[in-house]
Structure 1
Amino acid sequence: MSSVLTEEALSKIKRVHFIGIGGSGMYPLAQIFHTKGYEISGSDNNETETLEAVRKLGIKVFLGQRAENIQGAELIIYTAAIMADNPELIAAKASDAIVCERADILGVITGWYDNALCVCGTHGKTTTSSMLTQIFVDAGEDISCVIGGKLPSIGGSGRAGRSKDMVCEACEYQDHFLKLHPDCAIILNVDADHLEYFKTIENIIKSFHSFADMATKAVIYNGDDANTRKSLEGISGKELISFGWDKANDYSAEIISKKGLVTKFTVFYKGEVLGEAEINVPGDHNVLNALAAMAAARYSGLSFEAAAKGLASFHGAIRRFQLIDKVKGLTIVDDYAHHPKEIEVTLRAAKGLDFKRVWAVFQPFTYSRTEILMDDFARALEIADISVITDIMGSREKNEHGIYTEMLGTKTKNAVWFDTPHEVVDKQTAEQKEKNFDECIDYIIKNAEEGDILITFGCGDVYKLAKKLAKKLREND
């Protein structure tokens, strides 16, 4: 087994296999490799809409991960969510193939472009990457992109173009973004997350500093955020472009009006009015995301008018305040937010809209994050009028510290929770998860009222709950 992937080695490879091909981060890489003519195969444990999209490309998909799936592959790519005892990964490492983690491959890909725009930050990466991609697409640019969520205008979470420009969502998890090759680093904010790895906010700031230092041409950063400014200390030899509410920033904004999901605002560059823009996703935080995308687009040579046009046509990425349905007077929205700050800003945005009550349905993700940020989660969820909490989705972790939903539920005012018995939840089957979701749905149907908005939160599969709720309400209707 080799873990070294050089350009020379890549030029000789014909067959590539993806372990976990249905993941939002893996699918765009498979698209790019597929477009470049490689023979692709992949595997995943759960049937999803993404797997259907993969199959439509003509890619062979194995449902279930077994050692024999990797046969014939010369390059095998896996995600950080794949555990060490995964039989496919074990077989891969014992084979003669080159075996690489997703972040390493993404690093190779970003090096293929002359203008790699890498969007990082604790919050807002997917939305901002999607906004920026939408701007390029609407401007007729043949952009390449790798986004952490699905963008309707490109039919997925990535595409392979022929221009020099690439938009790449850059995740700080386990310092993965330090493997990239950014020409322009875009830093949205720096907050405490992934503390099971970073331990302290100071270590997080250091990593963002390293990422900014790697940028070969420019850094676009949130000048209002103290931690972001701290991460830029000592950075030189490249263009530094700031954005924020403060007029002292290079790019700033002033809100003109808010109506429904539409926010209109004036954009300033170095104190001078550039013009008016609008976005169709709620929340002041999304105005800042739009400013970052605007700055990156203009840095890349697009006009203000082109950037404004793209922002106006952007109606959100999939799982970012995505409208699922309006049924029996209940508005059902799904959101990927899985950090307390993300949940807080989304709930505050929802409270600013004219709904009767705001429901939060939260699926905690990983035991370590739930344990470390439990008090913060409780405070964020209390912004909602009613919170419903599902079982914790352990994903890549084992429940070593005995962390359960009831611990968060008892800390959260106005919350109800549905906890699978402790002796079975740590080895939860698909049937048990379905039952857990059904208990939540039954409670919501009995208690929701006309004029309420319900938002499902989490980076796991809680979106299935939102869709099943909408379906059940329609059937009952």
Structure 2
Amino acid sequence: MTVYHFVGIKGTGMSPLAQILHDMNYEVQGSDIDKRLFTQQGLEERRIPFFSFNKENIKPDHTVIAGNAFPDTHEELDAANKLGVPVIRYHRFLGDFMQKFTSVAITGSHGKTSTTGLLSHVMRGAHPTSFLIGDGTGKGVENSRYFIVEACEYRRHFLSYYPDYAIMTNVDFDHPDYFSNVDDVFDAFQELALQVQKGIIACGDDEHLQKIQAKVPVLYYGLNDDNDFQARNVEKSSDGTTFDVFVRNTFFSSFKIPTFGNHNVLNALSVIALCHYENIDLAVIKEQLQTFEGVKRRFSEKRIGTQVLIDDYAHHPTEVKATVESARQKYPDREIVAVFQPHTYTRTQTFLDEFATSLQLADQVYLCDIFGSARENQGKLSIFDLQAKIDGSMLINEKEIERLKRHENSVLLFMGAGDIQKFEEAYEKTIK
């Protein structure tokens, strides 16, 4: 029996893929750095063995699945090549594996993870469903009808996929270390659109997605009047959001979601559209939408003393704005305090003004030092450049984190894609 050995098993896509194969009774193991990462929780729960990187980990009966972050010269990949062991890159393996099911690829510059989590939750209320979410969560179900996967546009990795369906949430300029501008990003999505086999569910409120060309039907969803699936009468409260859905101007049904902000209405609408297309029972859709508890690192809340602490992966100005607005909807009477760690120098430099505009929606802003990437050059940019654009903002580090105590009854938003969690953990320690 083949053993699948994952090089970089703690990766946000690799960990859930290992979990899926394990759930489907494949033999799985892997290796990675020793540092504890939040993605290893699912591996530990399943008792999937993983080791420190070492060329001795590779055995002749293995098939190696390699994370995209590791070059062919990595000691384990080099050992595999010398032994003649098959080496398959993560996105190539996943692209082939998806073909066994009715597959749905969920993509977009923002909202991928939340929408993948939501669709997986709704679909599995109706049929056996396997899913891979980019927050480190994966589940494999034998005899699955559906396979739902978060598909990332970075370095055009999603072009390894030929899914039955694609949900496209939006097109925005991000990953400036790879894409040259928003047109370059759109070109990647356009290329994926031509690989979709059955249908595309696209956000019609997005000006770029209105131009998508495909060989299959494109259904549009959104808040604007000219969408195939439109949300009307959106009512927001501190315990969630209700809205009516119209299908081509005909009333379909009313829905309630326990989440906040227009972006979550749009995510739910994309799920409703796909489920409608696949004839999923309406009662199941409604019930599952209301019981969705969210995904990791997306508006994850805990209460400590008089404060609400929220951990969120927001690392682009559009996402920062959405997170602050969600906090305002849920906690209209509380002070909103943003604690933000910029992720990569290239992104910070490219969106310096936009970050300042989004962060100023909070009542108070604290800035952590920029979390750089090994792939980039810092140049002359520093966190002071962002601070200078935000009135009243302050710099903060782990040693000074207890300054946040002065914000009684506030909502503390810890936002970023680096290691912002260490700031939240340091703060929790000072309180306890």
AA matched with 1:449: E
TM-score by length of 1: 0.84
- Are the aligned partners of 1:15 and 1:72 in contact in 2 as well (CA < 8 Å)? no
Give the corresponding residue for 2:321: 344
The C-alpha deviation readout for 1:388-429, integer Å capped at 9, x for no partner, is 2223223442435354333323333332224xxxxxxxxxxx
Give the corresponding residue for 1:432: none
1:391-410 to 2 correspondences below 5 Å: 391-410=369-388
Partner SS state of residue 105, structure 1: helix
Are positions 1:472 and 2:430 aligned together? yes
Determine the C-alpha separation between the residues in 2 that align with 1:387 and 1:78. 40
Partner SS state of residue 167, structure 1: strand
Determine the C-alpha separation between the residues in 2 that align with 1:376 and 1:129. 27
- Are the aligned partners of 1:255 and 1:263 in contact in 2 as well (CA < 8 Å)? no
CA RMSD, aligned part only? 2.2
AA matched with 1:343: V
The C-alpha deviation readout for 1:195-238, integer Å capped at 9, x for no partner, is 221202111111111111111110111111111112x14x23x2
- Are the aligned partners of 2:337 and 2:413 in contact in 1 as well (CA < 8 Å)? yes
1:7-46 to 2 correspondences below 5 Å: 14-45=2-33, 46=35
Give the corresponding residue for 1:265: 243
Partner SS state of residue 100, structure 2: coil
AA matched with 2:195: M
- Are the aligned partners of 1:74 and 1:96 in contact in 2 as well (CA < 8 Å)? no
Determine the C-alpha separation between the residues in 1 that align with 2:378 and 2:71. 15
AA matched with 2:151: A
AA matched with 1:110: M
Give the corresponding residue for 1:321: 299
Determine the C-alpha separation between the residues in 1 that align with 2:387 and 2:78. 38
- Tell me: CA distance 1:336–1:94, structure 2 relative to 1, closer, same or farther (3 Å): farther
**Equivalent residue in structure 2 for 1:125, among 90, 94, 112:** 112
User: Share of identical aligned residues, percent?
Assistant: 32
**Equivalent residue in structure 1 for 2:404, among 444, 450, 458:** 444
AA matched with 2:327: A
Determine the C-alpha separation between the residues in 1 that align with 2:314 and 2:358. 11
Gaps of 5+ in 1: 1-12, 151-155, 419-435
Determine the C-alpha separation between the residues in 1 that align with 2:233 and 2:153. 31
Partner SS state of residue 117, structure 1: strand
Cα offset, 1:161, TM superposition: 4.1
Determine the C-alpha separation between the residues in 2 that align with 1:82 and 1:227. 33
Are positions 1:56 and 2:33 aligned together? no
**Equivalent residue in structure 2 for 1:460, among 415, 418, 421:** 418
- Are the aligned partners of 1:366 and 1:397 in contact in 2 as well (CA < 8 Å)? no
- Are the aligned partners of 1:82 and 1:396 in contact in 2 as well (CA < 8 Å)? no
Determine the C-alpha separation between the residues in 1 that align with 2:224 and 2:430. 47
Are positions 1:243 and 2:221 aligned together? yes
Cα offset, 1:255, TM superposition: 3.5
AA matched with 1:131: L
The C-alpha deviation readout for 1:338-394, integer Å capped at 9, x for no partner, is 111111121122233314211111222223222222222222222212222223223
- Tell me: CA distance 1:49–1:245, structure 2 relative to 1, closer, same or farther (3 Å): closer
Determine the C-alpha separation between the residues in 1 that align with 2:346 and 2:106. 25
1:136-147 to 2 correspondences below 5 Å: 136-139=123-126, 141-147=127-133
AA matched with 2:202: Y
Determine the C-alpha separation between the residues in 1 that align with 2:369 and 2:241. 35
- Are the aligned partners of 1:247 and 1:270 in contact in 2 as well (CA < 8 Å)? no
Cα offset, 1:280, TM superposition: 1.0
Are positions 1:284 and 2:242 aligned together? no
The C-alpha deviation readout for 1:273-297, integer Å capped at 9, x for no partner, is 1111111111011101100011111
AA matched with 2:4: V
- Are the aligned partners of 1:81 and 1:396 in contact in 2 as well (CA < 8 Å)? no
Cα offset, 1:442, TM superposition: 2.2
- Are the aligned partners of 1:17 and 1:73 in contact in 2 as well (CA < 8 Å)? no
**Equivalent residue in structure 2 for 1:65, among 53, 67, 74:** 53
Give the corresponding residue for 1:153: none
AA matched with 1:147: I
Determine the C-alpha separation between the residues in 2 that align with 1:98 and 1:131. 35
- Tell me: CA distance 1:70–1:470, structure 2 relative to 1, closer, same or farther (3 Å): same
The C-alpha deviation readout for 1:294-337, integer Å capped at 9, x for no partner, is 111122220222212111111321211111x2122111011111
- Tell me: CA distance 1:181–1:160, structure 2 relative to 1, closer, same or farther (3 Å): farther
Give the corresponding residue for 1:389: 367
AA matched with 1:317: V
Determine the C-alpha separation between the residues in 1 that align with 2:312 and 2:363. 17
Give the corresponding residue for 1:362: 340
Partner SS state of residue 226, structure 1: coil
1:182-193 to 2 correspondences below 5 Å: 182-193=163-174
Are positions 1:211 and 2:192 aligned together? yes
Determine the C-alpha separation between the residues in 1 that align with 2:292 and 2:90. 28
Partner SS state of residue 401, structure 2: helix
Determine the C-alpha separation between the residues in 2 that align with 1:355 and 1:83. 51
The C-alpha deviation readout for 1:138-157, integer Å capped at 9, x for no partner, is 33x2101111126xxxxx34
Are positions 1:221 and 2:181 aligned together? no
Determine the C-alpha separation between the residues in 2 that align with 1:161 and 1:291. 28
For this pair of structures, how many residues does the alignment match? 430
Determine the C-alpha separation between the residues in 1 that align with 2:191 and 2:414. 35
**Stretch of structure 1 that moved more, 65-74 or 205-214:** 65-74
- Tell me: CA distance 1:385–1:88, structure 2 relative to 1, closer, same or farther (3 Å): farther
- Are the aligned partners of 1:43 and 1:61 in contact in 2 as well (CA < 8 Å)? yes
Are positions 1:97 and 2:109 aligned together? no
Give the corresponding residue for 1:431: none
Gaps of 5+ in 2: none
- Tell me: CA distance 1:464–1:400, structure 2 relative to 1, closer, same or farther (3 Å): closer
**Stretch of structure 1 that moved more, 44-53 or 83-92:** 83-92
Determine the C-alpha separation between the residues in 2 that align with 1:85 and 1:368. 26
Determine the C-alpha separation between the residues in 2 that align with 1:404 and 1:100. 39
Are positions 1:178 and 2:159 aligned together? yes
AA matched with 2:401: I
The C-alpha deviation readout for 1:46-95, integer Å capped at 9, x for no partner, is 12343243133232111x42333334463222323346775444544554
